[in-house]
Structure 1
Amino acid sequence: MKGKIPNLREQHKAATRQEIARFAVGLFLKQGFVNTTIDQIVEPLGIAKRTFFRYFSTKEDLVLAWFEEKTPALVRELGDRPVQENPFEAVCATLSSLLVRYDANPGSALAMMRLTKETPSLVGRDLEKRMIWEQALAAALVERVGQKTMSLLKARIVVGTAMTAFTAALDEWYAGGGKLKLRPIVEKAFSMAGTP
């Protein structure tokens, strides 16, 4: 699957968006989501509120920016998996690529999960993000194996099963305070889910 190469302007916009989101998330983790105002985000960055709203519609969008940006990469990764690989295993391997973020900084990942789970306005947005990932990955799975081999319904079941196992593993890790290694929990969850 080939994507178009972003031009310099698009690259600059993406970098600005990432910078705003990264700074805002740091504030959210330090002083809480509700206690952080948009003014506290834009003033230190030297940008106007109007500029902020060109990139983000709401504060919630800041927290979920990484997930939105990751969707095309996940779709590409699934498309690049070996064709002979079992579809369920391909989806599991694709989702496992997200663990790099958790492995690199488990404390930060745990804090982000806490922020997402304990802020009511973010809970629904998190579910929305998962639904977007499921739809995108299901469409990519059908494209990968072909419509004659797999219907969209079957692909949604395969992806949904893998996503449910992945989410259950994240919840298990979170409930344990992030003390255990996440990767083995995810692998166990995928194994328990089996091939649908």
Structure 2
Amino acid sequence: MSSSSAAPRRGDKAEAAAAKPPMRDALVGAAFRLFLERGYEQTTVDDIVALAGVGRRSFFRYFPSKEDVVFPDHERCLADMTAFLGSGDDTEEPVGRVCDAARLVLRMYAENPTFSVQRYRLTKKVPGLRAYELSVVWRYERALAEYLRARFAGRPDGTLRADVIAAAVVAAHNNALRSWLRADGQSDASATVDHALGYVRSAFGATETPLVAEQPEDVVVVVSRRGAPLWRVVQEIETVLGHD
């Protein structure tokens, strides 16, 4: 028998490599399979790497902790949001800009509705994951607030305004996002979030109050003789002011 007939062809190897998911995705997939089968608390990192067929070092190369494998895409999304805000200029309406930035988070969830719904259900059951998720949300809010603080710098209550608007954007976005997740990702996510963010824009959209030049005071001086009756003085003032 020829040895070459038993050896895999180079094309077969390439196809097999292309069909195999990247290691990071394989770890996420293995983790969620175990979370659904056993529960989050009952699954260890060793269980995850064993199912994925990799070592512990490979896991921690991608994820600092077991919690991080539940939220594998937030670091990328936060970086995209920061870059988006930084690419704007001072001519853009700031509230509209942060609302557009929040839509990047929605897009991340909508890329894989099944995974997003599974994560939502898992997070509701595990208090530790809920706390972790809140810390992630806080980082998004801080990114929005920092952008707005720079835009409102030097204005009355600029920092307060920035923080309030950032919190409102996050609250509106998350309210709509949870509504979509509770519907198992079946509704129109974009329309739901646009509707929620519309409240923020209607409340805070006109934040750039134009500076109006102060008008000089109109001073009128009337000279009247001493002893003139009061009605004569009033008449002279009305004549100067053009009142009939």
In the superposition, the TM-score normalised over structure 1's length comes to: 0.77
- Conservation of the 8 A alpha-carbon contact between 1:91 and 1:162: yes
Does 2:195 match 1:188? Answer: yes
SS at structure 2 position matched to 1:81: coil
* Paired residues of 1:78 and 1:141 also in contact (CA < 8 A): no
Q: Partner residue of 2:105?
A: 98
CA contact (8 A) 1:77 1:94 kept: yes
The DSSP-based 3-state class of the residue aligned with 1:163 is helix
Q: How does 1:64-79 map to 2 (within 5 A)?
A: 64-79=71-86
Aligned counterpart for 2:153 among listed residues 132, 147, 156: 147
> What stretches of structure 2 of length at least 5 have no aligned partner?
1-21, 205-244
Deviation at 1:114, TM superposition (A): 1.5
Letter in 2 for 1:68: E
Q: Could you tell me whether the CA contact under 8 Å between 2:180 and 2:186 is conserved in 1?
A: yes
Q: Tell me: CA distance 1:72–1:101, structure 2 relative to 1, closer, same or farther (3 Å).
A: closer
CA distance in 2, matches of 1:76, 1:140: 11
Please point out which of 159, 172, 175 is paired with 2:179.
Answer: 172
Cα distance in 2, alignment partners of residues 111 and 96 from structure 1: 21
Q: Distance in 2 between matches of 1:16 and 1:82?
A: 38
Number of paired residues? 181
Cα 1:68/1:103, change in 2 over 3 Å:
closer
> Corresponding residue for 2:70?
63
Q: CA deviation at 1:33?
A: 2.1
Summarize deviations over 1:5-50 as a string: whole Å, max 9, x none: xxxxxxxxxx865654454345435554233221121124444335
Cα-to-partner distance string for 1:95-146 (whole Å, 9 max, x where unaligned): 1122323333322222222222222211111111111111122113334x26
How far, CA to CA, are the matches of 1:35 and 1:77 in structure 2? 39
Q: Which moved more, 1:162-171 or 1:80-89?
A: 80-89
Q: Secondary structure of the residue that 2:203 maps to in structure 1?
A: coil
Structure with greater helix share of residues = 1
Could you say which residue in structure 1 is the equivalent of 2:92?
A: 85
What TM-score do the two structures reach when normalised by structure 2? 0.63
Question: Aligned pair 1:135/2:142, yes or no?
Answer: yes
Say which is worse superposed, 75-84 or 52-61, in terms of deviation.
Answer: 52-61
